[in-house]
């Protein structure tokens, strides 16, 4: 395999952009861009798996990312014992009842022949199950939320190491993806899009409103970290000594240490996933996937179970998004369900995949870094441009003020324009599929 200088140059360019941010703005911003770029790269790797390999159009990435965030809370926060004794058992029972009702309904639907009896039984079962569920659920939720609402008011987590929440986030996302895939795959491609759009909104609504689960819009703060706190590092004489010997003051050194630590952790995950994705792409499985994407009918005629394979890859891609979501919440140290915006968490990832090059893992990674860099930097650039444009206008004029205030919305416009330009003039992206 010959060395591809163009690709190396592209990655070098992104590296230079981030380094440039370090030199001209601040190293703090640069490392933040790097860390979020790593997470974005993982997300776009997941979407690339779905879109690039299989041609599945998932626009519910936000939901899977949010589920990953939920996983960090459920895994790593300390349990609220008082809340558990107040309503924990009843809550578990309620959720089990809900699940049992749905499973029973599915079994009923499959076992009994179609007809009026089946319809009546189904309606009866679902209504009964729903009211039983609400009867168990409502008091339990109320009791749990009453326990110290300002501090906890939720069940808490399992107090396990935070790193465990990354795979758990993936598993949660995979579970939801299975349900969605079962329903919407095998129909028109647009239906999967609409279904995923819907489930993402619902996941966010649940996370915002079910206070017993994750405190809703009251947010969960102080999620444990996989790395030491800066303040502890500054107290550690060994660390301070090393820092001073390197010519750094301990405060800066501790923040850099923690941020770079995250960067290393994220990079390890990215490299593992990238390696797995590359191996999968080269394997017979990957060839089969691309064969299905390019000609479903031919692949089906060759005896491939198209819907099953689609389900498989849809679950895998969503799981990767879940992992990335858990990593992001870990980096933030808090879960804020109110901040999940579809434009930021779903459509931006799509721009990354398409600009980078759908069907090529390296392209997806490059797109993740590049678009994240632009997303962060468009605002200062936009403000700078707007200053130039509005310079001839008189100070204090309403139009000038309005234009200057609107700079924040330049991001969406720019991303839309970039997406359309790439789709039109270079539809295979920066690093095209081989």
Partner 1 sequence: MDVLNALVAIANYVLIPGIAYGSQLALGALGVTLIYGILRFSNFAHGDTMAFGAMVTILFTWWFQSMGIHLGPLPTALLALPFGIAGTALLLLGTDRIVYRFYRAKRAAPVILVIVSMGVMFIMNGLVRFIIGPNEQRFADGARFIIKAREFKDMTGLREGLAIRTSQGITVLTAVIVVALLFWFLMRTRTGKSMRAYSDNEDLALLSGINPERVVTYTWLIVAALATVAGVLYGLDKSFKPFTYFQLLLPIFASAVVGGLGNPLGAIAGGFVVAFSEVTITYAWKKVLVYLLPDSLEPTGLVQLLSTDYKFAVSFGLLIVVLLFRPTGLFKGKAL
Question: What crossing angle do the helices spanning 89-111 and 116-146 adopt, rounded to 10°?
Answer: 170
Provide the minimum distance between the beta carbon of 378 and partner 1 in the complex, in angstroms, as a whole number.
Answer: 11
3-state secondary structure of 79: strand
Question: Distance between CA atoms of 135 and 138, rounded to whole angstroms?
Answer: 6
Question: Distance between CA atoms of 292 and 305, rounded to whole angstroms?
Answer: 9
Lay out the site mask for partner 1 across 325-344 (x = CB under 8 A, - = otherwise).
-----------------xx-
Question: What crossing angle do the helices spanning 306-332 and 61-76 adopt, rounded to 10°?
Answer: 60
Lay out the site mask for partner 1 across 171-200 (x = CB under 8 A, - = otherwise).
------------xx--xxxxx-xxx-xxx-
Q: Determine the Cα angle at 322 with ends 264 and 378, to 5°.
A: 65
Provide the minimum distance between the beta carbon of 57 and partner 1 in the complex, in angstroms, as a whole number.
Answer: 6
Is 412 an interacting residue with respect to partner 1 (CB under 8 A)?
Answer: yes
Q: Which is nearer to partner 1, 236 or 296 (CB)?
A: 296
- Cβ atoms of 159 and 84 closer than 8 Å: no
The residue within the footprint of partner 1, chosen from 271, 385, 409, 426 (CB under 8 A), is 409
Stretch that binds partner 1, among 27-35, 254-262, 312-320, 347-355 (CB under 8 A): 347-355
Cβ–Cβ contacts within 10 Å for residue 170, how many?
26
Provide the minimum distance between the beta carbon of 354 and partner 1 in the complex, in angstroms, as a whole number.
Answer: 7
Lay out the site mask for partner 1 across 134-153 (x = CB under 8 A, - = otherwise).
----x---------------
- Cβ atoms of 342 and 65 closer than 8 Å: no
Is 291 an interacting residue with respect to partner 1 (CB under 8 A)?
Answer: no
Question: Distance between CA atoms of 175 and 205, rounded to whole angstroms?
Answer: 18
Q: Which is nearer to partner 1, 240 or 412 (CB)?
A: 412
Residues 6 or more apart in contact with residue 267 via CB below 8 angstroms:
38
Question: Distance between CA atoms of 320 and 333, rounded to whole angstroms?
Answer: 20
Q: Determine the Cα angle at 389 with ends 386 and 392, to 5°.
A: 130
Q: Which is nearer to partner 1, 171 or 410 (CB)?
A: 410
Q: Which of residues 20-49 bind partner 1 (CB under 8 A)?
A: none
Q: Which is nearer to partner 1, 140 or 273 (CB)?
A: 140
Q: Which is nearer to partner 1, 5 or 425 (CB)?
A: 425
Q: In the complex, which residues of this chain contact partner 1 (CB under 8 A)? A: 55, 57, 59, 130, 138, 183-184, 187-191, 193-195, 197-199, 201-202, 205-206, 208-209, 342-343, 347, 350-351, 354, 405-406, 409-417, 419-420, 423-424, 427
């Amino acid at each position: 395999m010959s060395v591809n200088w163009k690709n190396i140059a592209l990655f070098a360019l992104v590296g230079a952009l981030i380094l440039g941010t370090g030199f001209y703005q601040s190293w703090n911003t640069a490392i933040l861009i790097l860390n979020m770029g790593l997470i974005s790269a993982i997300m776009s790797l997941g979407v690339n798996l779905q879109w690039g390999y299989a041609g599945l159009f998932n626009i519910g990435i936000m939901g899977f990312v949010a589920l990953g965030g939920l996983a960090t809370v459920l895994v790593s926060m300390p349990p609220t014992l008082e809340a558990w004794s107040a309503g924990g058992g009843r809550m578990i029972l309620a959720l089990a009842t809900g699940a049992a009702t749905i499973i029973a309904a599915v079994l009923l639907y499959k076992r009994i022949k179609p007809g009026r009896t089946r319809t009546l039984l189904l309606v009866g079962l679902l209504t009964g199950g729903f009211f039983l569920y609400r009867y168990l659920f409502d008091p339990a939720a109320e009791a749990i939320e009453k326990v110290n609402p300002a501090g906890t008011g939720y069940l808490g987590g399992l107090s396990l190491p935070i790193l465990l929440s990354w795979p758990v986030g993936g598993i949660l996302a995979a579970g939801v993806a299975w349900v969605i895939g079962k329903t919407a795959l095998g129909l028109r491609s647009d239906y999967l899009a609409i279904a995923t759009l819907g489930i993402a909104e619902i996941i966010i609504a649940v996370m915002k409103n079910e206070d017993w689960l994750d405190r809703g819009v009251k947010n969960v703060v102080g999620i444990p970290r996989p790395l030491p706190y800066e303040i502890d590092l500054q107290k550690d004489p060994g660390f301070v000594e090393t820092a001073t010997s390197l010519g750094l003051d301990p405060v800066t050194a501790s923040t850099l240490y923690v941020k770079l630590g995250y960067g290393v952790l994220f990079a390890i995950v990215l490299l593992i996933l990238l390696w797995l994705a590359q191996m999968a792409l080269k394997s017979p499985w990957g060839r089969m996937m691309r064969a299905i994407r390019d000609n479903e009918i031919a692949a089906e005629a060759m005896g491939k179970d198209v819907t099953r394979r689609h389900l498989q890859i849809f679950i895998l891609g969503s799981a990767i998004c879940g992992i990335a979501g858990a990593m992001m919440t870990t980096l933030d140290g808090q879960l804020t369900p109110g901040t999940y915006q579809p434009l930021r968490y779903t459509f931006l990832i799509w721009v990354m995949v398409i600009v980078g090059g759908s069907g090529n893992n390296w392209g997806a990674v490059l797109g993740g870094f590049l678009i994240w860099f632009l997303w962060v930097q468009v605002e200062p650039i936009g403000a700078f441009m707007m200053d130039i444009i509005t310079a001839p206008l008189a100070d204090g004029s309403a139009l000038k003020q309005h234009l200057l205030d609107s700079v924040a919305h330049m991001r969406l416009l720019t991303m839309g324009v970039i997406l359309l330009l790439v789709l039109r003039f270079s539809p295979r992206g920066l690093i095209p599929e081989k």
